[in-house]
A and B are shown apart, each in its own frame.
Chain A
Amino acid sequence: MLRKSFVLGAALSLNLAPAAAADLNAGQELYSAECAQCHGRTGRGTAVFPRIAGKTEDFVTERLKQYRAGETVGPNSALMTAAVNELTDADIENLAAFITTNFP
């Protein structure tokens, strides 16, 4: 029983670790510099650029990694790949945390 509690506690700590590590300020800086001019100040989308408000952190993370890998996901893939191809995993984590925290 004691062992099970320890394992559960460790797992919870591991699950919480990424969110705790995300730097929302860094995510905000990235969003303002690289994302806001197309997706809008509040992520609601503009013109031909889709809404990203209301997405889950997993969704945002997966999409950013797909674009970074050069995958085609929609007609603006060239723009997205060019915008994110130098992002690190930490950058993506920070961006996803900022977007989902501030644009629920």
Chain B
Amino acid sequence: MKRNAALWALCAAMSSTSAYALLAGAASADTPTLSYETVLTDLEDPWDMAFLPDGTMFFTEKCRGLSVRLPSGDVTALLGMAGTEGYATTADDLFCEGQAGMNGVAIDPDFDSNRFVYVYSTSSLTEPGSNRVIRLAVNDDLSGVSDRTDIVEDIPYKPEASDHPFGGPGAHNGGRIRFSPGDGYLHVTTGDIHGGHVPQSPTLLGGKVLRIDRDGNAAADNAPPEGFDPRIFTYGHRNVQGIAFRPGDHNPVISEHGPWHTDEINVLFNGANSGWDPRPNMAGRGDCPDDYCGYSPNQMEGMDPEERAAWMPMTDYETYPDAMVPAWENNNLSQGISGIAYLAGDQWGDWDGKLAVGYMGIGFGGTPPGQRIDVMDIAEDGQSATATEFPLPMESGRFRSLVMGPDGSLYAAIDEGDIYRITPN
């Protein structure tokens, strides 16, 4: 019976250069005690939330669609996907498969005047399916949406299964969308769809972070390499499912899932390469299953993460010496890093301004699942970090999304179907 974390995992954790406080008590004394409340339960794969100042919460469910929870607690179903019932509007082209479906949601910074909300969703309007960023106008009483405009139509979707772990359709779908409070641009995170050539492609939008305006146009000062799609802000990513903006300078910070090793937190800079390149016959590698080396050389069995990382690095500095240096590598482990949010307000004590990082948990090949929320202190240069485990006031879960609420609490959605409000006391 396998219930032990392999020794190498512990050794890897202990030998990492990134500091990690295993116990909350090891952190500063000026940190709050936490309580929680279940805001919504029995949802179907809740994926993301976005708040208005009065506490109104838009939220997505991956296979159902977009809904809104009013401050009264009443919930209105706004935009349903194919096969759903009970929504004010249904869009039959929106579908879910595997990791794909209705993912991120964001509210326009000028919502008061334009009433715009945005979702990232998989659509069948173009073959073989694609991910779209969809702009919707919400009516005054928050009972319906109209004026759908697809401002991005061509984010790749994986339509067929392949010979890889998690190899079903819809894999590595990215999907977080956030407006920067600094420049006001919408940032869109995408995934490599198990396509070896996708992350370094100058034209395919998978494995990228896009930076666009509310109409889908590229931000004027995006600076990707010559020949790249101008909407690309950074490239060479694997599967980015978290983005937040650093307090002060509003620099974007992302989380991306590692390949059986090395989850990453990266502080982005304009035009940069994150160094993920899973093509076969690259960097000393040969052929790989279905032309994707992302889990090789031993994709179906456990293996020392450091040995695996040496063969298929998350950031390939040898091929791309100028690649971004991650701030955090999760002690070389891959545990399903996902939503991130900066804690804000005096109520968080020493955690004010620190990054909350959610992990969904993946137990494979000796890696402990690691379902948790970390509080991370990222160095000024963005190239190192220390992490403290958040003392959860409730049972752990698959932390898909973390969002700061207007009430100063942290909201957490877990795949099991709950949205929690975590309040510092």
Contacts and interface: CB of A to CB of B under 8 A. Distances in A.
A92 to B, nearest CB: 10
Contacts, number: 79
A40 B300 contact: no
B415 A46 contact: yes
Interface stretch (A3-11, A13-21, A80-88, A96-104): A80-88
A78 B299 contact: yes
Contact of A47 (B99, B299, B364, B371): B99
A22 to B, nearest CB: 15
B415 A47 contact: yes
B310 interface: no
A2 interface: no
B87 to A, nearest CB: 22
B369 A37 contact: yes
B1 A87 contact: yes
Contacts of B301: 78, 82
B168 A75 contact: yes
Nearest to B44: A44
Contact of B3 (A33, A76, A82, A88): A33
A12 interface: no
Interface string A35-67: 001101110101110000000000000000000
B398 interface: yes
Interface string B358-399: 001111110001010000000000000000000000010110
B216 to A, nearest CB: 28
B424 interface: no
A48 B98 contact: yes
Interface in B160-176: 161, 165-168, 170-171
A23 interface: no
B1 A82 contact: no
B417 interface: yes
B45 interface: yes
Interface in B125-181: 161, 165-168, 170-171
Q: Which 10 A-B pairs have the closest CB atoms?
A: A46-B415, A75-B168, A78-B300, A86-B2, A37-B361, A37-B369, A78-B165, A75-B167, A40-B416, A47-B415
